[in-house]
Structure 1
Amino acid sequence: MCRWRAWWKGLPALAVLAAAAIFFGRAPVEHDLTSRAEALLSEIGESWAHARFEGRSAVLEGEALSEEARIKVRAELGRLSGVRLVEDRTTLLPERRPFTFGAIRDGNKLHLEGYVPSNYARRRIAEAAAEMAPGVVVSGDQELVRARGVPAGDFIGVVAFGIRQLAKMPSGRITISDDAFSIEGRAPDFTTYDALEVTVRSELPGDFKLARFAVLPPAVSPFVWSASREPDGVTLSGYIPLGDARRSLLDMVRAAVPGAAISDRLRLADGAPQTEGWLKAVSFALGQLGRLPNGKVSLSGTTISVEGSAPDFAAYDALAGARRSVPEGYTLTRFAVEPPTANPFIWSVQRNANGVRLTGYAPSEDAKRLVLDAVRGDLPGVPLSDEMRIASGGPAAEAWVTATAFGIDQLSKLLTGAVRGDGTTLSVSGEAQDSAAFNTVLAALAQSPPRGFTLRADVRPPVVSPYVFSLRKDADGLTISGFFPSPTEHERLVAAAKAQFLGAPVNDVSAVAQGAPQGFTAAAMAAMRQLSRLETGEARFDDGRLRVTGAALYPAAVASIRSTLASALPSGFSLDVGLEVAAPHPMVDRAACQKAIDELLEKGTIAFLDDGTRIDPASYGLLDHVASVAASCPDSMIEIAVRQPQASAVLAAGRAQSVTKYLAGAGIAPDRLATGERPALAAQATVPGRIGEPGIQLIVR
């Protein structure tokens, strides 16, 4: 019979024995699998991965460089004898683009930074850094970050190569960005620099390219360079900043002096100005050397020197002109080129909105300096561009300075203009700043020219916009204001005003100026003729717009003035007429009426066009005032008598009829007007100016 109660008491002990058997039997298996897995991972080059076992189940951990590496490790570990299953807990390293690495040396310190693809790479790089030079302290190796994205090729090898180059310099830096390698620093001597350049350019590990070679050669000061030209070739001496600059420099020499033998005595050095600018300055200097068969050009720092003798004037012109195009950042401190003779000897001082420009030739440096002082004295603060060259063959220096300074004095009163010399001829031209300046310059030019020189002038008045001109008639007379195009046209306007406004005082406050619209004088004369027909009024021009305002002497004059102006104004002018009719004159008796008409005829002349019978429009003002006076004695007859000592009876009668017709159109009743031959009256018409050619008299009856 079973004793089940006793059997139950032995179960706990049995369980303990079973657990102990499992534990002590599992540990050797896990240890064996772990050892074999580590060896396998190392053998297949995937030491980044680690496997731990729970029985025969592998737990795979680590950071992979790629998904392919994870798949490979899982597959290889799964095929390992004794492994039941693989649990993949690996992750991918972060990818870095660009994949960068840097090493910086500063004396006995070397700092590493950037990314590495693995711990193995980190260890190898740290070993290479430690071996760089005795006593160098390496930092940053433990901070190197593992990452994906390492470029193809021997990454460890290119880093070790760079560190070896840093060992040759007291300070410097290498940088790797993807497959681009850069190095910078300063070589302690010329030999080291040459060796570094050759090594880096020729021995850089494959799959990597040189992005930047910025190792500086030893510094020199001053940084000098020169090129001397002789019949047998060109000799280069001094320093050159970079290896690449030498190739460019030699190309420049060949271009400037084709076919010349080149003796290169240049030495690489640091301390030069910025290389690109330096090469531009060298190119400029060599360009001048190409024009000098026996010359020398040199640079010292940022100064340039050119010396020699120009073979002809064309070469000298080019050399002197090049002085205006010195490369930015450089100064031409010595220009010792002997000039040829200038024929013709010409020069100019030109003024425009940008300043003053001097060109042409000066007889000496001292003479040119005095002229420059004259410009600065007469035109203070005005920008000055000096392009004058020195040449022989011109006037004596003292006379040249006196004449040019005289011209500059006039130029100071011009808005734009020029003083030009040709041998012993001096010309002054340009636009005056204002009317007062214009008159001052004309007065100065009217005086004797500088001794030994012939003077020519073409000075113009200033340009104004808008171009305004006004003729205003009131009880005080005629006021002329605004601008007129030229003194000649001004004289015409003033003379016409004095004739047409019947002796009224003329107050002229106008000034000469350019900018008048085409046909301005003709338009002004037409406006003046119509203004003379008004009792009071104004004719005002604003460029091509004419506005006429005021009071006409009789109603019909308003339409007549408007139509006459519309047909008389030149093309391009617009017309605006705003006229009213003046109050009629008080009624007077016949004697007062005759006296008033006689006074008018004494001040003005009734003229006819082309010796014919048509009344000159310049006489309309006189006839309008006659009509206004005749209207003040409406009960009187107006007889128009004609004497004809030189005119035919037909011509005389036709002219009298024209006057009769005009007065009738002005509102005088036709039955008050009579014409005829009156020899007795004609004999009284001998007073000059009373009635005018050819002898018309108006008799009030």
Structure 2
Amino acid sequence: MEGKTSMHLPKKWWIGLPVLLGLGYFAQGALTPRLEDDLRAAVLSRVARSPDAIDRPEVRVSGRDVVLAGVSLSPEAKASLLTALGVETPARRIMDATQPLSRATPFVLRLERRGGKAMISGNVPPTGVRERLRAEIAALGLEVSDSAAYADGAPHAFPDLASFAVRRLAELDPATTTMTDATLAVSGEARSAADYERALAALKASPFESAVKVEVSPPRVSPYVFTAAARDGVISLSGHLPSDDLRKQVVAMAAAAGAGAAVSDATELGAGAPAGDFAGALAFAVGELGKLSQGKVAVSDGKIIIEGQGRQNIFGETIRADAKARLPSGFEIARLDVMAGPMTPYVFSAQRAGGEVTLTGYAPDEAVRNRLIETARRNFFDAKVVDRLMIAKGAPQNFAEATDHSLAALARLDEGKLAISDSNISLAGVARHQSARAEIAASFADALPQSFRGEAQLSTRIVGSPLDASRCAAALSELLAKSPIVFASDDSAIAAESAPLVDAIAATALRCQGATLEIAAHTDNIGIAEVNLGRSKRRAQAVVERLAKAGVDPFRIIAVGHGGERPIASNDSDENRARNRRVEIVVK
């Protein structure tokens, strides 16, 4: 037909068909995995919006066919989910491969805390409990790790029971709470003493029907310290103890030690008590507190501190002896500062033997103690003073004055002992010569304060073998080198503290039977020379008279005064002037 172009159809059109089919096949193979991934994501997204339907869902896709596996939490919720998947996803067919929820026997839920992290494991019911547990734990400021599995068989009121277990995590760290059906086991360490008390109180009022197993320890404490203090009729307890039973025992100990005192207990429970017999160490410490009128005891780890005021006849050595006998092994006295209590009888003793005079017994305070030591040092010119006095209350009135006088009397003895018991004083010993014995015996009791009674039992040392002039001079020089003869004020009376020295000079002079003794007195340069000369003569004469009274032949002793004419040191200092004020004895 003219005016029209006809289409040419090849006779062998089928030759290109395989090529087209190959292109289609390869296109489909490239697109299928992507389509399956998109379908799987869509199904999982929809399943996630129904968390109460399937636990731990698994989705397998082949083309547009879907296999849904996992644990069926609720048949009703699962049915609704399957319907929604058929409508809301491009799946052609959905096959249900889920397993029914298993029953856990026993039904166990474990909650653990380690620092700032909490772990959930075991079983939870499919009723929203998991979300509630996570929220409650997160509210405690803890990071939550959840590996629990859904299961059937939860006990009645499981959510409330689980919440009770969660609250224990706030009080304990580390902590483990294990619910097994309707029973509860709690273990761990309290975060504080208050948390320990709260945890124990809560567990005693547990909502669990069965008994609750509790292995909860108080918080660990370091250093581990317990203190008991007695003051104003009250014994106050503080610090830490490892158990409530021991706390009750300690309160009872304190009440017994206080003999009627009220007991105020502010102790807290804490772990970390020292090893060994800690209860025995507490019994010792609280018992020793009962020996103090006021004070405190402390047990710090394995060391014990005791300080305060002792009761009657109690002093530091009493407590130290108790510790040696009763303190358990592993514990030691770290500090002992106990002021002796009122002592009955109140004793003081001074014994002179050889080159020492030893002071023992009590002094009422440091001032009196120092006074007595100084009195002894002034009077015992040729002996070392050994102080073993202790401070203790209970001294009789005028104790210091009576003891001063008695020490001065003892110093005049060559050897002897002074003993004071309350207001009774005894002096025994050997005088250096007969005149000294008579003077001491006559004045000892009469010079004591009125409230004291004194008794002196004295003998006289036998005069030693005679000394020739050279040996006599050496012996007298040795005595004067130990101490100068001291005179009262500025005149010629020999001071009482020099009486022992003059007695010793007299005892030596009695042995110098064939020699003449010149007693030469000297002064410093202070004052008028004529006055000093007269004073020195009177001082020399005072010594001569004392020697004559002791039995030295007065015709063999001569008094000479040189005033300040013969100094042995320059008079430019108090020390040098004191050296110039002296008495010398020249043997002829």
Please indicate the TM-score interval, normalised by the length of the shorter structure.
Answer: 0.3 to 0.5
Q: Does 1 or 2 have the higher relative contact order (CA < 8 Å, sep 6+)?
A: 2
